[in-house]
Amino acid sequence: MNIVEYIPENIVPILVFAVLITLIFQLIRRRSLKGAMFGAEITETVGSFEIWKSSAGKRVLSVHRLKEEEENDRAVGIDITSSGFGSFRITPITLSSEQARKLAEMLDEATT
């Protein structure tokens, strides 16, 4: 008995289509690519600044206020955007209000 015999021939296009529909739904629901990556709508970008820059590229750190939803406790989004010649990458980090306060305390302690 070969399992390949039971897999429909058009399964790959169906799976690709399902993933694309899911991504499009998230983009529309969260109103942006970053919002979809955070899993919550961005209500405000608090600020951003360059954390590294060279002739090959740069990194920018941004802090966002996220829309609070009943199903999650995400309140703050931090993203690091890295760009360079022929490359682009966004690394999202979501934090609850409590985690964001703890991070602020640790950063304050590290700088004093």
Please give the helix or strand (H or E) that residue 91 lies within, else none: strand 87-95
pLDDT in tens, 49-107: 999 888 888 999 999 988 876 666 678 889 998 988 888 888 888 888 899 999 999 99
Three-state DSSP class for 24?
Answer: helix
pLDDT at 80: 92
User: At CB < 8 A and 24+ separation, what contacts does 11-16 make?
Assistant: none
Higher pLDDT pick, 16 / 25: 16
